[in-house]
Amino acid sequence: MRSYLLTFWNILDPLYFLLTRLNYIDRHSNIFRVRITKYKGKAVVLSDGTMINKNDTLLKIHLHNVKLLNELKNVKCSVRRGRIIFQKVHMSMPLIAEYIHNHKDRNDIKGVIGITMLYKGADKLGFETVRPNSSLYIFYKWLTQAPLFLLSAERANIFKIPDPYYLFMSKEKLEQTYNKKRNTN
């Protein structure tokens, strides 16, 4: 059943990519696809003092789920899956920092935002987790992300699907944490 769903998702992914106006940073070495967005939630103050307000410009990151699921399809252990996801995100973050640094609107971009059910360990990567305020938005994201979560789970259990959370990281923290190459040159 999973292989059929994954095949279906592989077919739908190019359409999803077009409809969401995503961009590749690097098709091969980056697990994210991105787009510039305006934040529509309530104001958030990050731990470094960065204030994210409604309509602030952020870089929205999307895990390339199909790519990730294809790479994880033969990994049975959920702990190992978690480690692989963590490593792929960690290796992709310097390219996110470089993308923002080279973007024509870099002065307007305040940080990075994502929304995910896979937020365990996000703090070790430098992200801060914030629960969205809108129950309707949480439900919508839960509906759209639950199938992917179930596909990636070792044992699918609809009653153990976590709520989605925002992941935030300020541009300054991103640069300090992941831009070490440019800082040493």
pLDDT digits (tens, 9 = 90+) for 36-52: 999 999 999 999 999 99
Domain limits for position 59: 2-184
Position 30 pLDDT exceeds 50: yes
Residue-wise pLDDT tens digits, 67-97: 777 777 777 777 888 888 899 999 999 999 9
pLDDT attached to residue 102? 93
Q: Residue 130 and residue 145: Cα distance in Å, rounded?
A: 17
Q: Are 58 and 130 in contact (CB under 8 A)?
A: no
Q: How many domains does the chain have?
A: 1
Query: Phi then psi for 73, rounded to 5 degrees?
Result: -60, -25
With beta carbons less than 8 A apart as the criterion, state whether 33 and 62 touch: yes
Contacts of 178 (CB under 8 A, 6+ apart): 93, 94, 96, 97, 126
Distance CA 2, CA 8 (A): 10
d(CA 148, CA 66): 9
- Average pLDDT, integer, range 157-166: 80
Does the reported pTM lie above 0.75? Answer: yes
E strands along the chain, which residues? 23-24, 32-38, 44-45, 51-52, 57-63, 109-116, 128-130, 165-170
Pairing assessment for the beta strands 109-116 and 23-24 based on DSSP bridges: unpaired
